[in-house]
Structure 1
Amino acid sequence: MSQTPISSLRGITRGFSMSIEQIQERLALVQPLDKEAMQQAAQHQQQLTKPAGSLGRLEEIAIRLAGIQGTSLPHIQQKSVIVMAGDHGVTREGVSAYPAEVTPQMVLNFLAGGAAINALARQAQAEVVIVDIGVAAPLAHPQLISRKVALGSANMAERPALTREQLFEAIQVGFEVLDATAEKGCHLIAIGEMGIGNTTAASAISAALLRQPVDALTGHGTGINTEQRQHKVRVLERALELNQPDPNDALDVLAKVGGLEIAGLTGVIIAAAARRIPVLIDGFISGSAALAACALNPAIRNYLFAGHTSVEPGHRLILEHLQLQPLLNLNMRLGEGTGAVLAMHILEAALHTHNEMATFAQAGVSEKEEE
């Protein structure tokens, strides 16, 4: 398959129409982890100058990364955070503390390097990839990947958020952006998002796929009060009753109550797993994309790491369902990929210890005597 470099993705607004068969083909490329590489990595851990298991989850991370990359000595050099931005028609229902105008303003802040994700990515030495997949305003910047599928989603409280064509195109954008990033030699992907109203979409997706009442997983989002949260719950209940998303069909759920940036991130996750690239998911919104991707192919879960746990209650339910233990718990709820990029340091630490520590034989240290 020929790949498109990121430089040539900038400024493209429409692509060919993706089919369900093409999505299924990409899903079929996701393979199990390399058990032999994991076994060799585990044996290597036993030879390092430390008591067995004493580095705890760092050892587990290194072994899983070995299975992902198919080598007993995995490595991470180039890192990227892909941030998808899109607006949501449901904001017209008053579900957010901020107006929709904040979405394009924050995207420009990302591009200027002034947001939290930029500061954290600079510290982690990770490339920041900003994608306009559905911002409801014109945006132009030399570093922006402009792949606007639509001017935001429709109001899910009135009709399906996305058409089937829009959903497939958004997933296609995710595929292409990940492919271009991977072609540059990226070894680790973090995902993030920007879009006023997207916790509402994440709540709807999670409620449908987890078969949970919306009240159990709907939080305060951007800082709404208790009364506003109850209004948000009522809007969500109306949207789910109106659209009747099929919990057995993640694509149906994404189309009826999702959003363009969430669909795009779903595509990123699928394409990364197909290329054996680990993905650090961020909070509730990127977690809902991971939930959808794993519903389409459960093997994708092996390629995911949970950067942190958000204060949004729905995020905890997602992580429990996917059996992902978060690496950090810092009471964050910003989004943008911030928690995922913070956790990059932990994955790198796991590999530094795995690859750089001396073995007992190399250090001339006596191993524990067998009992």
Structure 2
Amino acid sequence: MNFNIDKPNETLIEQLQHKIDFKTKPIGSLGVLEQLAVKIGSIQETLSPELKKPVIMVFAADHGIALDGVSPYPQEVTWQMVANFMAGGAAINVFGRQNNIDIKIVDAGVNYDFDKNSGVIDAKVAYGTKSYLNNAAMSNEQFELALKRGADLAEKMHNEGSNVIGFGEMGIANTSSAAVLLHLLTKVDLKECVGRGTGWDDEGLKRKYEILKSAVENYNGDKSIESIFSHFGGFEIVMIAGAMLKAAELKMIIMVDGFIITSALLAASKMNPNVLEYCIFTHKSNENGHKHMLEHLNANAILDLGMRLGEGTGAAVAYPIIESAVNFLNQMASFEDAGVSNSDKIN
């Protein structure tokens, strides 16, 4: 798929900064909030941006590599956690309700059949990927289908009035895919990319690394992003990448969560680097590889709370800060409006 992603309107940046600098505050005193306000205003091409119908889409899928022992949890935890999402009992549900964010749950490729009345959005490509220890996780056709279904879902959210979108994920063994993608797309040493995931001890972490090392050594595809992504990706990660690319094309604000979601963005950025212009990095994951992803993308995260849960929780927790950036820009008085003397000595 091709995505026509324009860069945001840079001509507005100076005007936005001027508006911010004449608020009743010392220059630069709102720090990151000022940077966020400029970014959001330039994306929306306005001096008075607004956030409409925020949504976080949680994509779930199973990974064949899980059966090779890279995770301490059995594969069925994926569908069981999806059921927990639909029951409203997961952390993402709590934070979504707290911050008035609509949470959508998507079956991208879970090894389970959900009831048609469950509320889960059915975008299933297959009942999980194949193990990439010796073969590709998915076919080229499945890869293209996952990209398209992700793009279609992002477009649907846009058509329903949302202009700010975040992504979450659920899939036992998906930290393994993220780690390999990080290694192959950035050349960071594999040992630095592989983390404890859902809670491996030292012995389990070593075993996970050895399995992934073998998978990388067995890869005989080319170095193209499409080949690497389809070989080692998960249906949920590819679908998220497609959704991100379409969201950027539609000039939506993209809230980037932690390790897995950033791996999807990393891959998406190799397909079209302009996608990065629409991204707000919400938190730094405690999963070791995430710091390398952020460094490679030259990104600074809003929060660093030691979180590594996934599900989109970092985006949900950071959303009120993003709201604060928009609200101060729109509602805070200027020196002239407030009748306050504006002095160059205020700093």
Deviation digits for residues 217-264 of structure 1, max 9, x if unmatched?
1110000111111111111111111124544x2221110111100000
Number of residue equivalences: 345
Deviation digits for residues 20-57 of structure 1, max 9, x if unmatched?
xxx12x2xx11111012222211100111001101011
- Counterpart mapping for 1:124-203 below 5 A: 124-140=99-115, 141-203=117-179
Give SS of 2:165's match. strand
Aligned position for 1:364: 339
Deviation digits for residues 148-188 of structure 1, max 9, x if unmatched?
10100000102111111111111111001101111111121
Q: Is the 8 A contact 1:132 1:145 kept in 2?
A: yes
Q: Distance in 2 between matches of 1:352 and 1:362?
A: 17
Q: What TM-score do you get using the length of structure 2 for normalisation?
A: 0.97
Aligned partner of 1:226 among 180, 188, 202 = 202
State whether structure 2 residue 182 is matched by structure 1 residue 206. yes
Q: Distance in 2 between matches of 1:245 and 1:300?
A: 26
State whether structure 2 residue 65 is matched by structure 1 residue 90. yes
Q: Is the 8 A contact 1:240 1:257 kept in 2?
A: no
Aligned partner of 2:290 among 296, 307, 315 = 315
Aligned position for 2:230: 255
Alignment CA distance shift 1:356-1:245 (3 Å): farther
Residue identity opposite 1:366 in structure 2: S
Q: Distance in 1 between matches of 2:344 and 2:164?
A: 39
Aligned position for 1:301: 276
Aligned partner of 1:241 among 203, 210, 217 = 217
Structure 1: unaligned runs, 5 residues or longer:
1-22
Give SS of 1:78's match. coil
Give SS of 2:50's match. coil
Q: Is the 8 A contact 2:180 2:193 kept in 1?
A: no
Residue identity opposite 1:214 in structure 2: L
Aligned position for 1:355: 330
Residue identity opposite 1:212 in structure 2: V
Q: Distance in 2 between matches of 1:119 and 1:186?
A: 20
Alignment CA distance shift 1:369-1:228 (3 Å): closer
Aligned position for 1:10: none
Alignment CA distance shift 1:45-1:313 (3 Å): same
Residue identity opposite 1:287 in structure 2: T
Aligned position for 2:311: 336
Residue identity opposite 1:107 in structure 2: V
Residue identity opposite 1:215 in structure 2: K
Deviation at 1:299, TM superposition (A): 1.3
Residue identity opposite 2:109 in structure 1: G
Give SS of 2:95's match. helix
Identity of aligned residues (%): 37
Q: Distance in 1 between matches of 2:163 and 2:123?
A: 24
Deviation digits for residues 341-371 of structure 1, max 9, x if unmatched?
1111111011111110001111000001489
Q: What TM-score do you get using the length of structure 1 for normalisation?
A: 0.91
Q: Is the 8 A contact 2:132 2:232 kept in 1?
A: yes
Q: Distance in 2 between matches of 1:109 and 1:170?
A: 24
